[in-house]
Amino acid sequence: MAQLAVVILSLFGQMERTYVSECAAHARIVAESKGKRAGWPCVVDPDKLCYVEHVCADGF
């Protein structure tokens, strides 16, 4: 009987995990359709990135 309870609890856990991943995928699609960037914000300053590209192109 205890094994049945464990199986049912793991089933509910897997269902919730699937539901959360589907909701996250839907939220990403909606955000991208509105022209917003999904995910973590970019932490690299565009000016610094341009400088690094310039330095790398010159060969250090």
CA angle 35, 33, 47 (to 5 degrees): 25
Evaluate whether 38 touches 31 at the Cβ level (below 8 Å): yes
Give the residue numbers spanning the domain of 36: 2-58
3-class state of residue 5 by DSSP: helix
User: Token pair of 36, please?
Assistant: 């917003």
- Counted domains in the chain: 1
User: Token pair of 30, please?
Assistant: 């909606």
The pTM for the full model equals 0.56
Q: What is the pLDDT of residues 2-59, one digit of tens each?
A: 999 999 999 999 999 999 999 999 999 999 999 988 778 878 888 998 999 999 988 7
